[in-house]
Each structure stands twice: as structure tokens, then as C-alpha cells.
Amino acid sequence: MRTQRQPALRTTGLRKAFGDHVAVDDVGLTVPAGSFYGLVGPNGAGKTTTLAMAVGLLRPDAGRAEIFGVDVWRSGVEAKSLVGVLPDGNAMPERLTGREVLTYLGLLRGLPPGVVAERAAELLSVLELDSAERALVIEYSTGMRKKIGLAVALLHAPRLLVLDEPFEAVDPVSAATIRTILRRFVTGGGSVIISSHVMALVEQLCDHVAVISGGRVAAAGPLAEVRGGGSLEEAFIELVGARAEVREGLAWLTS
């Protein structure tokens, strides 16, 4: 089968400019099948833009993205059937309850109604959203929105999960549940890409990592290689560069 030996995701030469500002410049990433891949970088580095182009949500100015060898822009429907995405920000119908969102999007994915109902109930229960049964998504907290977004990403049992900051604003108990779900997904043969600002979490979960800085890949590969002899945080600061003016500025804060 074509997809079996291919990387879960391969991007080559991805580029995106917003006006004069080049947000992503020549980004090439290879995410091996079966890996748990972390994408880290400072605010505004281009992580969200890269992931959005990689999964077919944002058209690149140049470059390609393939999911298990399927071109995201030429064969969008096939590529999207292989991937579950938790995008940045609000990207779902808000005037529906969590269960209605899952039902609606599950049916749109072409899943049989019985399967959608069964999976929706299980996801809502495991992610502890069943108590919000009658609440509209617009009433959800930020963390609850992350969790329903994750449920949507998992619903069609994709082979690759691409999750933009899945742990942001999520309480510790839910975060532990999500970690368990994601680890189990990888153990079962799935592949996961997460972006995160929490280096300790990336070190704990991921076996591969890419550091993005200024829209470019500063380092990428197996976690042990990227962090060298030290911690990922040390490698990150080394690669990205600490800002001298912050160390020296804000003198007026000290009396």
C-alpha cells in the first residue's frame, strides 16, 4: 500500500508571506510514521502557519506537503481522511452542543450514524465533557474548547494527529488524560505532531522535535540529537537566542 512506507508528514520548501512579512520560509520537515513529533519555537516563529499549510488549511505561496505520501493540495480529500487536526483558535460551529458538533462533523466525514453516536459518547466521557451535554460550544471555557477540538480530531480514527498547542489552558487532570490518549494512539501505530511552548512536556512525550525560529527550521530530528548533551530548553535558548535587552532593560521596575 502506498501510504505504508511513507513518512506521516513531509513538507518541502513551504513558504508563506503576509504582506511584506515572510512568516514561513523554506520549511522542510519529515515526520516519520509512528513518531511523536514536537514543534517548538518562540511566539510568532511560524509554527501555526506551518501546521496550517501542512494539513491543507492555508494555501502556501510555495512548497509542498504530503501526508503518508498523499499531496495535501492535489489530493485534499484523500489527505484529509488520513489526518485529524486540532487547529489554533476557534474553528468549529459554536451554536451547537459538544455532542451536536461531534455528530455533525462525524456525519460530514461520512461515518455511519451509529458509529458517530458511539464514538461521540465515548469521547465526551473520556474527556470529561459529558457534564456539558447541554452547553453550547460558545459557552465552553478555553480548556473545554481544546478538549472538544481534540475529540473532533480523533473522531474519524485518523492515522496522523496534528495538534496545535493541545495542552494550552487544559487542567492537569485533563492534560494527563490527553497524554494517555496520545501515547496510546502512538503505541497503536498512529503518528502525532504537537506544537507546544512547554519544553518539559515535549521532552516527556516526543521522540522527535523541530525548533522553528523566524519562520525557518533551526534544528530538527530525534529528540536526543536536537537537545545534545543538555535539556531541550537549553538547546532551544541556544538555537533561538536569549534577548539581551530584556536582561538589561526595565530598570524602572527595581527601586
Smaller CB separation from ligand ATP, 101 or 210: 210
Smallest distance, Å, CB 45 to ligand ATP? 4
The answer to the question of residue 41 lying near ligand ATP (CB under 6 A) is yes
Of the candidates 47, 37, 41, 42, the one whose C-alpha atom is nearest the C-alpha of residue 16 is 47
Q: How far apart are CA 178 and CA 166, in angstroms?
A: 8
Name the one range near ligand ATP by CB under 6 A: 38-46, 105-113, 222-230, 231-239. Answer: 38-46
Tell me the longest C-alpha to C-alpha distance in the chain: 68
* Cβ proximity of 52 and 33 under 8 Å: no
Smallest distance, Å, CB 100 to ligand ATP? 29
Q: How many residues does the chain have?
A: 255
Give the chain's radius of gyration (CA, Å): 19
Smaller CB separation from ligand ATP, 168 or 171: 168
Applying CB under 6 A, among 45, 129, 162, 206 the residue interacting with ligand ATP is 45
Applying CB under 6 A, among 35, 49, 191, 196 the residue interacting with ligand ATP is 49
Q: How far apart are CA 163 and CA 173, in angstroms?
A: 19
Smaller CB separation from ligand ATP, 47 or 99: 47
Smallest distance, Å, CB 232 to ligand ATP? 16
Q: How many residues bind ligand ATP (CB under 6 A)?
A: 11
Helix (H) or strand (E) holding 77: helix 76-81
Name the one range near ligand ATP by CB under 6 A: 26-34, 37-45, 95-103, 169-177. Answer: 37-45
Smallest distance, Å, CB 165 to ligand ATP? 7
Q: How far apart are CA 59 and CA 14, in angstroms?
A: 10
* Cβ proximity of 193 and 164 under 8 Å: no
Smaller CB separation from ligand ATP, 58 or 96: 58
Strands 83-86 and 160-164: parallel
Q: Where along the sequence are the contacts to ligand ATP (CB under 6 A)? A: 18, 21, 23, 41, 43-49
